[in-house]
């Protein structure tokens, strides 16, 4: 079984790290779409990190893993 996750990494207002992980992103997701979504999350203060606003886009990656049941 193959699983994919989009991991969006941010910096908060006190230079802490914050990750948002989304399961099964669409296969043709573009960097522009991801950057735009991340900027909206920051601009609209959708999430907080330990009470601190997210302030900066750090990175985004799609991680794909293969899982094989043996027993």
Considering the domain boundaries, does residue 71 fall inside one?
A: no
pTM: 0.88
Nearest-10 Cα torsion for 45, 38, 58, 21: 100
Query: CA–CA separation, 67 vs 25, rounded Å?
Result: 18
- Classify residue 34: in a domain, yes or no: yes
pLDDT at 1: 85
What would the pLDDT profile of 28-41 be if each residue is shown by its tens digit? Answer: 999 999 999 999 99
Q: Write down the pLDDT at residue 4.
A: 97
> At 40, phi and psi to the nearest 5?
-65, -40
The answer to whether residue 32 is domain-embedded is yes
Q: How many domains does the chain fold into? A: 1
Domain containing 55 equals 2-66
Mean predicted confidence (pLDDT) in 10-14: 96
31-71 per-position pLDDT tens digit = 999 999 999 999 999 998 999 999 999 999 999 999 899 99
């Amino acid at each position: 079984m193959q699983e994919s996750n989009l991991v969006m990494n941010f910096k908060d207002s006190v230079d802490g790290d914050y990750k948002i992980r989304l399961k099964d992103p669409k296969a043709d997701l573009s960097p522009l779409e991801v950057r735009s979504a991340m900027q909206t999350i920051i601009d609209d203060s959708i999430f907080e990190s330990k009470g601190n606003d997210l302030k900066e886009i750090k990175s985004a990656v799609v991680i794909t893993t293969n899982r094989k049941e043996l027993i």
